[in-house]
Each structure stands twice: as C-alpha cells, then as structure tokens.
Structure 1
C-alpha cells in the first residue's frame, strides 16, 4: 500500500510558525530516510495567503534527487503551473490540482465556483500532461463542507465525470467529517464514471475517524493514502481544521495488517517528533512517537 507523504505541504501549510527552507528540505530528507517514496513537497500558492509555501521553488531546488522519490506540488491555477515549469530540472514529477466539491468552499478557497475551478483544471491538466507531468485531481471536501454541510456522492461523481481523463483521483476529507460507509459509497460513485483511474484518499483525523476511513479505503480498492509525519496540518481555509492522519501511525497499522508500505515506523516516528519540535509544538498528534513500535518494544525482531 502506497503512502503519499504530504507533511511538507499540507502538514506545514496551516502551521503559524513559518519554517525556513533548510528545515523543510531536512524534513523531506528525513521522510526519504524513513522509506517514503512519494512526497508532496510544496504548493504554488499566493505567499500572502499561504506564507508557509512562499519558498516553494527553493525547497524543490534543494530536495534530494536520484533517490527513486517522486515529488509532487500543489497547483491551483495556470500561474502555479508556470512556476512549476520554470524550475526546469528542479521541477516536481507530479502536479496535484484541487477542485473543491462545493461552490461556497470553492469561492473561499480559490475565488471561483466549482464549475469555474473544473474548467481551469481541464486547461491546466492538458498543459501539464503535454509537459510530461503526472496529474492528480483532488476533490476537496468530498465528504462534507464546513459551510454547506453534507456533500452527496452524486455531486462528487459529477465533478469527476466533468473533469475529463485522469491519471489519478484523490478524494479528500478536508475537514475530517467522513465515516467508513462514505468511503465505500464514494469509491463506487467515482468508479461508475472513471473506472480506470487509480484511487487515492486524503483523510484528516478531526473527529477520530481518519484511521477507520483508511482501513475502509483499503477494502474499497484505493491504492494510495495521504498522511503527514507527526500528523500535523490542516486546511488554512477550513474552520477548526486539524491534522492529517499520521504517517507513522498509518504505516504501523498497514504494516501489521500485512500491507507493506516500505516505511520504517521508528524512523518515521522520530521524524514526526522532530518536526513538532521545529514547529514549537508541545506534542504532535501522532501516537507512535510516544508508544513506540510494538514488535520493537517487545524485543521481537520486526
């Protein structure tokens, strides 16, 4: 099971303590050392709205290359894609584009309706593919909206149907309201209009359902799950947003369920603690850094 590490982007973007690029690069290096091989490292967003991402280019120029790692960056419009292209050999391997499932949240997040965002996505996705990028469409607030409430599976299905051909679909529980039955319903709805594209999920643990949703996603055939080291993060435009599910806790859950992730949970947990210290947090949401790996703690070789 593939874990997509989103700590350097979604994990950091909601944190008030803005870190220097050198620390963000070290965070990525530690993620690579923990065995993570797909990492979202930056967002090409307006610095005045997301100050933590102001140094996206510097971070992408500094992360280790030739390690078998695929780097992704969040792009919100054509200007963001232009910034990615301008990086040349330091550009990311993948583009992640977010379309918000409800008009109200989309206007607050991106200044346009969902339909407008979809039109922009189609244009950007076409240019990005022509330039050789792998393109992910993330449907944000797919499980519920902080402003308008419940989001129907048919709404998410229609967004995916209108998006055009897709390399990957990521369904995001942006505000952490989802439950496992929704995971199954959304997977079926999306597959009814886009049966070939691989499914990825992005869960937050706001209401302590993130890991249950991850297990449901495995059962529903999702092939990748987002998580952040330490469990840090949240959407800066969603009220009361809290962190992603934690990479170290998710990897522990999957590894012990005979779903190999390639992640060394001990190294991952140490990195979660490390980034929390850099951010000035008394403790990170992740549990493994406090409890430790069960097999290691019991003296049994893992």
Structure 2
C-alpha cells in the first residue's frame, strides 16, 4: 500500500456509531476494534464523545479509549465535545482534535445540545480560547449538523448555513464541515452547498459527513468530491444516527466508500481486506447488532487492484 493519499477517510463509528445503539460495547472490545481500524490504514478516528455518562452510557469509558488510541502511531485521535466542560476533559485526555456539533436548525440545536445556534457559536469561541491557552497544537472542528434539512424543523435555508459557517470561522474554528444528519441531501444540493462553503471560508472548509438514510450516501460523497472536498466521514458497517433527530439513520459505510474511491483511482491509503476484517471486531463487540455494506456482502471484483496498491 502506498503512503500517499488523495482523500482522507475519517472513521466515526466508535462515536457516531456506538451512540446510536442501545447496547454498550465493552471497553476491551472497543480497543480491539480500534486496533483493527488502525491496522487497516485509517489515519483519523473519532473515538467517542465527552458527555455525561448518564446521557450516553456508551461513552462512559471515553477517556480510557482515548488513551489506548493515542498509543497507536501515525493517526489523528479526535473526540466530540458539546461544550467547554467536555473540551477540558478531552484536552486532559490528550486528543489531537476536537469536534463541536453546531446545528443549522434551531429546533435540532435545542434538542441536541440545549443551546441556540448563537450560543453554540459562543461555545466554539470559548473552546478555541481554551485550546489556545492549554493545547495550541490541537485542532478545533465545527461540524454544521442538519445542514441539508431537519426532521424537526424541515427545510434549512442555505444562506443560513453559509452565514453560520462564516461565524464559526470568525470564532476561530480551524475547520467547518457540513453534515447531512438526517439523510435528506441529494447530489445537486451537496454540490451547490459545498461550492458555496468553499467560496465563503476557503481553506477552513472541512469534511463531508453524509448519511445513507435514503440510499444517496455514496452519490452525495461523489458530488462533494467533484467540487473539491477531500475529507469524508464514514462509519464501519454503516452504524450511526443522531438520537435527537427522529428518523435519522445510517452513516455512509466506510467499506463501500473506500471501494468506490479506490475503484475510481482515488487513493485512500486503506487496505480493503483488512478494513472488511475489522467488521469481525465490531461484531464481537456488538453481537446481534445489524451492520451494513454492499461491498463486504458482494466481495471485491476478480482481479481488482485498488489505487492505493499501485502508487504513482
């Protein structure tokens, strides 16, 4: 496998995936799963969220999981934090990157973090200030959730999404990406909104976090790639969905996304065989939980050579 890559696949299963299931994966199983993801060549992983255990018991061991992930070389360990208290705990644990969820939908913002959009912009500003004082090397990402529509509010105006992205950049966020939290996006909308995002905030434009709720996940990823996006969130086995957005389900399947890019000649740096083997660790940690993916079910085409194996 070549070490050169054309896109970054950011694995969010240990956070976004695990928060959406009722079962709690044992800590040892999380460590084994993370080891398998690292062995497959993933180089950015969202290992959990620093939230009260009474709200998300699936994340009660997040600090221990971070410590384990930090022991594996050559990748970015990130965690979701909803506020400065979570950021303090995450920075103390040693994460490389913080992600804050900032919803474009006022209704979803209140349901998800119990704050308005404006209050969350202030929260990002406070987290950036905390980062600057205590851990200046840590990146801060603001992920705009419900950017393509909301099951609580309905349509979300694109002008409001772009205005929010500009405010977050002004607040000091290193990256601001767009999330299709409720799986309502279509390729034309993705192309248009990411084009506007890149025009508005330039190099601060971040990841595409897209869901496959209505079967358009890969098509939407390709639309984002076509307009210059090079970082994509995905979840092994397609686990994921926001518990505060009714009807939201199904992140883009990491295995399918990697196969699509590698078949196109776009290097991910990820070993597909090892990536699909990582499903065994996921199944062992969540026995009986449904996981998804067309590529693992169909297998790789005969004679298939991934772009990352060719190098250039």
Q: Same fold (TM over 0.5)?
A: yes
CA–CA separation in structure 1 for the residues paired with 2:295 and 2:18? 20
Distance 1:176 1:39, change over 3 A: same
Name the structure 1 match of 2:214.
Answer: 207
Name the structure 2 match of 1:169.
Answer: 176
Alpha-carbon offset, residue 26 of structure 1: 1.1
User: Is the 8 Å Cα contact of residues 230 and 273 (structure 1) preserved in structure 2?
Assistant: no
List alignment gaps of at least 5 residues for structure 1. Answer: none
Deviations 1:26-54 (A, max 9, x none): 11110001110111101001212211111
Higher relative contact order by CA 8 Å / sep ≥ 6: 1 or 2?
A: 2
Distance 1:129 1:288, change over 3 A: farther
Name the structure 1 match of 2:310.
Answer: none
Deviations 1:36-83 (A, max 9, x none): 011110100121221111111111122252510110000110100111
CA–CA separation in structure 1 for the residues paired with 2:304 and 2:214? 33
Aligned residues: 296
CA–CA separation in structure 1 for the residues paired with 2:71 and 2:247? 36
Alpha-carbon offset, residue 300 of structure 1: 5.3
Name the structure 1 match of 2:187.
Answer: 180
Distance 1:2 1:300, change over 3 A: closer
**1:73 aligns with one of 70, 79, 103:** 79
Q: Does 1:25 align with 2:28?
A: no
Q: Does 1:196 align with 2:199?
A: no
Using the size of structure 1 for normalisation, the TM-score is 0.93
Moved over 3 A (4+): 299-302
Moved more, 58-67 or 221-230: 58-67
CA–CA separation in structure 2 for the residues paired with 1:169 and 1:112? 19
User: Is the 8 Å Cα contact of residues 228 and 245 (structure 1) preserved in structure 2?
Assistant: yes
Deviations 1:247-273 (A, max 9, x none): 111000000111100111121122135
CA–CA separation in structure 1 for the residues paired with 2:252 and 2:106? 26
Alpha-carbon offset, residue 210 of structure 1: 0.6
List alignment gaps of at least 5 residues for structure 2. Answer: 1-6, 307-312
Q: Does 1:121 align with 2:127?
A: no
Alpha-carbon offset, residue 7 of structure 1: 0.8
